[in-house]
Structure 1
Amino acid sequence: MKFPTLLVAFIIAASSVLSAQKKEVSLEEIWNGTFRQERLQSLQSLDNGKEYVVLNYDRQAGTTSIDVYSYKTGKKTRTLVNSADLNDIKAFQDFKFSEDESKILLSTELEPIFRRSTKEIYYVCDVNSKSLQKVSDQKIQEASFSPDATKVAYVFENNIYILDLKSGDRTQVTEDGVINSIINGVTDWVYEEEFSFVKAYAWNPSGEKIAYLKFDESEVPEFSMDLFKKDLYPSQEVFKYPKAGEANSEISLHMYDVKSKTSEEIDLGDKYDVAEEAEKVNENAVGDFYIPRIKWTQDPMILSVQVINRHQNNLDLMFIDAENNEAELILNEQDEAYVDITDNLTFLENNSFIWTSEKDGYNHIYLYDEDGELQKQITSGNWEVTDYYGYDPKADVIYYQSTENGSVNRDVYSIKPNGKNKKRLTDRNGMNSASFSADYTYFINTFTDVDTPNVYTLHRSKDGKQVREILNNKALLEKNAGYDFAPKELTTINVNGNDLNMSIIKPTDFDETKKYPMLMFQYSGPGSQSVSNSYFSSNDYWHQLLANKGYIIVTVDGRGTGFKGADFKKVTYKELGKYEVEDQIAAAKQLGERAYIDADRIGIWGWSYGGFMSSNAILKGNDIFSAAIAVAPVTSWRFYDSVYTERYMRTPQENPSGYDENSPLNHVEKLKGDYLIIHGGGDDNVHVQNTMRMVEELIQANKQFDWAIYPDRNHGIYGGNTRLHLYTMMTDFILEKL
């Protein structure tokens, strides 16, 4: 059919007007909360399985409350605690129930320490009487109820204490705690950061024993940071930080008897005698070990302990008999590269247990008896179990999340321990996650895809049938419809013999006959994922801003990233920064051959591991990349912590070439394009030392570059106007240089 020329012109003009009516996103909007998603905050199931609680904040009154809602109806049934009704607390920031839910620990005056650790003032609130009891006048760490809720244990200045709530008597469990030397009951910096926990003690189910970890970090080298603030003289923060190949804390496991008030160190056997083990390895290696998890079993006197060697490729699951403090090896898992630590261990009534492992090449669920004998591999296939939600003994069903529907997607499944009756409980392609009620009757599904911000729905666990919608973000979608946003396209690209997941954002007025500059974003760290079927993050909104200005934004998950099997992930072992960089360079080169990509204007950026990658990319791929931004980058793995780095690289003493050949510091002479490096001066994680050394190497190579230091800011580089300033700087750099 032939349209009249006038009609065609009218249609084009009308389309242009409609397009022109759409707004371009601004940096201020990205960082002032304009696009904030609605979320369910601090949702927690009550033991009855019929209700859940949510921490609500009344901004106008400045008060907080713990409100109870019905799973089935979604209606609020009652309020457990409201700070407006309490004399001593205006508001609280967090809460923990006692086991019988008769008491609640309320956290106030939170003071951050590192990424996960805080100091705070705790109060015990009686649910029925609403009476308050202050745990300590000092700010303390990791308070927790005894199983019968008659006592509270906590850590103060590296020592463990127990408060008897009835008598008010306070017992000091340990007495040798010293800042920057001996730690009891909480973790040191590297455990907190890399093993993802802070509370390093656990009441046994009967309340008779407390198992705890002791860290002797006296031989760990100290790291210091100058914090400038606004005082006349800067202050200095000094803490123990074991870099790759340096001394770790000496770790030991102890058992405290509440009645006799005595502690005993647990002998884990000759294998874990540090001095003896060190003699068996070569002089450049190390013989110490880690205890990344302790957990009481269904037997109140049996503690499970996971112990892993420093190379992190040989993991023992041990049982400790708390009556005689003897250790027994139950399960050993080994890998040529490394064994990942998870929280997926679940004990059944007879102390048989559920465990996840990558031993068949993909992460799957296994069932073992109480003696560690394999009973059944419950899941199998060329896909990964990505989350383990738990076991329902009543229905004899296991619930988990997996990538069976594609590595960029997640679905929730149920399965019997015998591997039969598997059911997919979610039916929309995208990222699905679940939060189950205490009795597994219901689960709240959080769903998102590239077109849909988070939607929260309630489902029946037995068949996945939706009961009701709890919360959606339709208001955000309606708001976003007024902006000139382009879709995030998911696809793949074949690079170096692998089909890699890729996302692309193109300008909304994209014309394939034109040429566009391209900016690549990536993280690329081991087991990570940047390409997924999910809605916009803050960086996606920034990428939309750049797309509005005529850039194509591409993200590629190369070798070493996660959720495509152990071989794909672990190919980077001992060679961080080699294969991942090769894949980014090859992908950029291949994309640059597309008619609509300007091969002379290809840039790359990333943060942390991504900053390490973008630095290497512009150096090793100097004929491909013309600009790069590195935010808080590692520039040599010799500067990073022992647990993370050695998991993937072993020690610098054992693998010097792996550390040095892929360090940007050793390739600065290759810089041709425009390079911007940015760091926070108070970064306790990836130290600003990384950027300072990179700057010095560039100066000595007489290479021009741009750089910025944000005083006192940590690894996240945020606070006040900081994020807006940072992204304004990066935007200006890209507009000028790319």
Structure 2
Amino acid sequence: MRRLLLAGLIALTVLPVAAETPSTSPKLDLETIMANPDWMGQAVENPYWSVDGRSLYYSVKRDGSSVHDLYRVDPATGNNIKLDAAATAKAEGAAVYDRAHRRAAYIFHGDVFLVDLGSGRRTQVTRSALPESSPRFSADGRSLQFRETNNWYVYDIASGVTSPAAVLKFTDDPNDKKPDALGQQQLDLFKDLRENKQDKDALHANEQTLAAADPTRAPQPFYLGDKSQLMDTELSPDGRWMLVLTQPAHHDDGKAPDVIHYVTDSGYTETEAARQYVGRNDPAPQSVLLLDLITHKSYPLATDNLPGVKDDPLKAIRAKTIAELQKAGKDDDAKALKAPDVRPVIMYTMDNGSPGIVWSDDGRNVALEFLAVDNKDRWIASVDFAHHALEPQHRLHNDAWISWGFNDFGWLKDNRTLWYLSEESGYSQLYVKPVDGAAKALTSGKFEVSQPQLSNDGRWFYLRTNKVAPYSYDVYRVPSNGGDLSRITQYGGMDQFTLSPDDTRLAVLHSSAYVLPQLAVQSVEGGTSRDLTHTMKPAFTAYHWIEPKIVEVPSSHGAGVIYAKYYGPENETDAQASRPAVLFVHGAGYLQDVKEAATYYQHEQLFNNLLVQEGYVVLDMDYRASEGYGSAWRTAIYRQMGHPELEDLLDGKAWLVKNHGVDSKRVGIYGGSYGGFMTEMALLRAPGEFAAGAAQRPPADWVTYNDPYTADILNRPELDPEAYKVSSPITYAANLRDPLLINHGLIDNNVMASDSIRLYQRFVELHKKNFWISLYPLERHEFEHADAWYDEYRRINELFETWVKPAASN
């Protein structure tokens, strides 16, 4: 995204390019730093091992295009090859293996391939218009399972025959249709009709008998009725069971707002439906069916035995709101807020988009991960196949909300022990639990554990953790049966890793402040790593970029330490005693920007360099709600978005004044998305604290944002209207006294441009001064065009130069 054509080829070398000294480094300008980011270089993406484990594949975005090219590198020699079309056709996808490690399978260009590891013979299993996914060998290794959308297929390796695992029809069984009163009268009256029906029934019964006795036939359909719609399916590795996830048919998601396109190919104004607003309708509850593919029977898996599912964690808020509605004479609205007897649940969706259903390798156990629709509880349950019922295994409760991440789970190689991540200690840690035993923590401490990968031999878990410091991430490992957590890599800026098929090496993506993710290989025993790529551009590395200093800002509100990145002149002693400063506020709310790895905000980081060149100092803070600091830090904003974060930003300003000679009257603030929201909250809830602010694509009223994100933090607006009122900038519009620039893409379908336009109208009606709005007709939430980036930051720079930098103006 945000790319335009820029000439130059990616340099694929191992050695980095040395940066120039400050005296020879070119002077920065907005045209350069806001140009198409291809001039910086490209990130290495999606690394995976070849089937034989001797090579690594990865992709790199092509300059001037959104096309990604596929590369192959030999970890032993570092030899990189960019694959042309002919070579790409012979490449492989990320492989899965059977338990005997005799065969492998993978998806490539949406089709399924099978490889005999002994002979190297490759067989193309499918060649279809729709893409296949999720290849997996059956428990006995005789067949290969895969899915096409929600339909599962089984490829018998010996015969080469592919058949559907099950046929699902969301209609009533036409053979079970009972005659109504008139129809029964007809049967009672006419012998021929009775005989016709008897013959039809006999034919159907005979067909079912033949099908049950003949494995060469396609399976008989499951008729699941027309009251539900299919959401997902998961087939057991032994082929015996299928879990079917459904929700009520024809669920009304509520009216969706329109995004209006003013600059179009057709020359006419066009509209596009966007996501629904929070609270326009309840999320659809979900249900799970267990299908026995052998006996051809289905069983609903009731969730009413999940511990706490009948509780109402919002009881106090509900009672207060109902009382207020009744007092106002809104009895119907009050009745609509009555708590359900059993809270509805949905299935957790994992990062890869699949539902929270994981089978053990042998297919004899399965775990399901549910979330309460109010997102105050997460449950992991197994299935008692004998009684066709859920068996609760773990409950995680949070009075605020369950994290969107840290919900990974699965099975150990013994097929009866669960592993899962949980924030129950206050930080994401790894646990194991036999289905009939007690849970045990494999890791503990005030740090976060994520990306757990179980080794192929089942002996080790490899993990991403920030044990050394909140901002420093590396790969660690811990024995799956318990033991010491040991560090494997030494990057500090480790982003992602994948284990080799033979469990001996790690392919690691790592980055740093001005180096986008690069690929390296590392022994699982630790030691020296080998860099395999360098895709940064010489023109970019030629600059003497400011290395951000990670600092600790003390909280004056009992929050402990707030980590931040400080950008200042190389020689602080030569700096002026009273200087201007800018606070950059990262977006996404739950995002960590204070890390040793590359920032998501590359353009903003370069702009921060420009600001320092122009005499400012810059502070970028991981305010409360940021990722990486535990659940209490994350949920501090529950029902009060913009309040704890503002306290942290003001502490950051005070720290700059005390420690870096900053003039308290000459501090600006800017950010995008959540950072834009915080810019507006800073100016409107703390007028006079900031000389000026620039808000990019900011949510100004949370009632017009989406459901899962907003309802988790603020509950639903009809239930907790006070939380929305105190958390929305538009509530405080009357407080505007400091210059505010708002920039927004007109076709933003995440935070609607209407948010900024509505706030702008409030300022107009309140007769406010010194507020501006810039609208960009071809930009969505993330700007894509260099001209728009340049224009946006030219306006921000001019705002700061006019209202923040000059001491006399304040």
User: What is the TM-score with the length of structure 1 in the denominator?
Assistant: 0.80
Choose from 400, 417, 441 the match for 1:377: 441
Instruction: Please show how residues 141-220 of structure 1 align to structure 2 within 5 Å.
Output: 143-145=133-135, 147=137, 152-155=146-149, 160=151, 173-175=168-170, 184-185=230-231, 200-216=232-248, 218-220=251-253
* Cα pair distance change 1:701/1:252, threshold 3 Å: same
Write out aligned runs for 1:234-383 (5 A): 234-238=269-273, 241=276, 243-244=278-279, 246-255=281-290, 265-269=300-304, 283=335, 284=337, 287-292=343-348, 293-321=356-384, 325-340=388-403, 341-350=405-414, 351-371=416-436, 373-374=438-439, 376-381=440-445, 383=446
Over residues 193-212 of structure 1, what are the superposed CA-to-partner deviations in whole Å (9 max), with x where a residue is unaligned? xxxxxxx4433223454434
5+ residue gaps, structure 2, are 1-20, 116-120, 172-222, 320-334, 349-355, 805-810
Q: Residues 610 and 633 of structure 1 are in contact (CA less than 8 Å); yes or no, is this contact kept in structure 2?
A: yes
Which of 83, 86, 89 is 1:84 aligned to? 86
Structure 2 letter corresponding to 1:304 = A
Aligned residues: 674
Q: Is 1:420 aligned to 2:483, yes or no?
A: yes
Q: Is 1:491 matched with 2:551?
A: yes
How far 1:580 sits from its partner (Å)?
0.8
Describe the SS at the equivalent of 1:471.
coil
Q: Where do 1:106-125 residues align within 5 Å? A: 106-107=108-109, 122-124=110-112
- Residue type of the partner of 1:385? E
Give 1:57 shift.
8.2
Residues of 1 paired with 2:359 and 2:493: CA distance? 36
- Partner SS state of residue 42, structure 1: strand
Q: Distance in 1 between matches of 2:132 and 2:746?
A: 28
Contact between 2:407 and 2:421, CA under 8 Å: does it hold in 1? no
Shift of 1:699: 1.7
Distance 1:201 1:630 in 2: 43
Asked whether the 8 Å contact 1:331–1:372 carries over to 2, the reply is no
Aligned runs of 1:619-658 on 2, under 5 Å? 619-658=684-723
Partners of 1:390 and 1:261 in 2: CA distance: 36
What is the aligned partner in structure 2 of residue 550 from structure 1? Answer: 615
Equivalent pair of 1:484/1:508 in contact (CA under 8 Å): no
Equivalent position SS for 2:628: coil
Partner of 1:500: 562
**Larger relative contact order (CA 8 Å, sep ≥ 6):** 2
Residues of 2 paired with 1:317 and 1:372: CA distance? 14
Structure 1 vs Structure 2 CA RMSD: 4.1
**Structure 1 residues 253 and 595, CA, compared in 2 at 3 Å: closer, same or farther?**
closer
CA contact (8 A) 2:562 2:623 kept: yes
Q: Secondary structure at the match of 2:575?
A: coil
Letter in 2 for 1:506: G
Matches within 5 A, 1:306-705: 306-321=369-384, 325-340=388-403, 341-350=405-414, 351-371=416-436, 373-374=438-439, 376-381=440-445, 383-392=446-455, 394=457, 396-431=459-494, 433-450=496-513, 454-461=517-524, 463-472=525-534, 476=537, 479-480=539-540, 482-496=542-556, 497=558, 498-507=560-569, 511-523=574-586, 527-535=590-598, 537-593=602-658, 596-704=661-769, 705=771
Partner of 1:31: 35
Give the conservation status (yes or no) of the 8 Å contact 1:303–1:321: no
The answer to whether the 8 Å contact 2:358/2:367 transfers is yes
Unpaired segments ≥5 residues, structure 1: 1-16, 108-121, 186-199
Q: Contact conserved, 2:493 with 2:512, CA < 8 A, in 1?
A: yes
| Separation (CA, whole Å) in 1 of partners of 2:437 and 2:800 | 56
1:385–1:734 Cα change, 3 Å: same
Higher strand share: 1
SS of 1:405's equivalent in the other structure is strand
Match of residue 799 from structure 2: 733
Q: Aligned pair 1:43/2:106, yes or no?
A: no
Q: 1:694 to 1:564 in 2, by over 3 A?
A: same
Distance (Å, rounded) in 2 between the aligned partners of 1:554 and 1:278? 38
**Counterpart secondary structure, 1:517:** strand
Given that 1:681 and 1:709 are in contact with CA atoms closer than 8 Å, whether structure 2 keeps it comes out as: yes
Change (3 A) 1:685 1:62: closer
Decide whether aligned partners of structure 1 residues 291 and 285 sit closer, same or farther in structure 2, where only a CA change above 3 A counts.
farther
| Pairwise CA distance, 1:661 | 1.7
Distance 1:539 1:438, change over 3 A: farther
Residues 399 and 665 (structure 1 numbering): CA distance in 2 closer, same or farther, change over 3 Å?
same
Cα distance per residue 1:12-34 (max 9 Å; x no partner): xxxxx973763324434543235
Question: CA–CA distance in 1 between the matches of 2:795 and 2:66?
Answer: 35
Q: CA deviation at 1:660?
A: 0.7
1:237 deviates by: 2.6
> 1:698 deviation in Å?
1.6
| Matches of 1:518 and 1:279, distance apart in 2 | 42
The 3 A distance-change label for structure 1 pair 243 and 441 is same
Deviates more, 1:339-348 or 1:308-317: 339-348
Q: Does structure 1 conserve the Cα–Cα contact (< 8 Å) formed by 2:358 and 2:410?
A: no
Q: 1:291 to 1:673 in 2, by over 3 A?
A: same
**Displacement after TM superposition at 1:666 (Å):** 1.0
> 1:713 aligned to 779, 789, 793, which one?
779
- Corresponding position of 2:175: none
Match of 2:607, SS? Answer: helix
Partner deviation per Cα, 1:599-644 (whole Å, 9 max, x = no partner): 2221111221111111100111211112111122122222222222
Q: 1:154 to 1:377 in 2, by over 3 A?
A: same
Counterparts of 2:701 and 2:66, CA distance in 1: 46
Following the alignment from structure 1 to structure 2, what is the Cα–Cα distance between the partners of residues 96 and 418? 28
The 1:276/1:417 distance shift into structure 2, 3 A limit, reads: closer
Shift of the alpha carbon at 1:243?
0.8
- Give the Cα separation in 1 of the matches to 2:35 and 2:610: 13
* Paired residue secondary structure (1:540): helix
- The answer to whether the 8 Å contact 2:367/2:383 transfers is yes
Contact 2:448 2:630 in 1 (8 A): no
1:173 Cα deviation from its structure 2 partner: 3.4
Distance in 2 (CA, whole Å) between partners of 1:227 and 1:380 is 50
Instruction: Kindly state the Cα deviation for residue 649 of structure 1 after the two structures are TM-superposed.
Output: 2.1
Query: 1 CA distance for matches of 2:453 and 2:717?
Result: 39
Aligned equivalents of 1:434, 1:595: Cα separation in 2: 39
Query: Structure 1 residues 44 and 451, CA, compared in 2 at 3 Å: closer, same or farther?
Result: closer
Instruction: Give the superposition deviation at 1:41.
Output: 3.1
**Contact 2:43–2:60 (8 Å) recurs in 1:** no
1:169 to 1:453, Cα distance in 2 relative to 1, 3 A: closer
Larger Rg: 2
Cα deviation digits, residues 401-451 of structure 1 (max 9, x gap): 222211111122222245423322223555465332234211123334447
Cα shift at 1:143: 4.1
Query: C-alpha distance in 2, partners of 1:62/1:246?
Result: 37
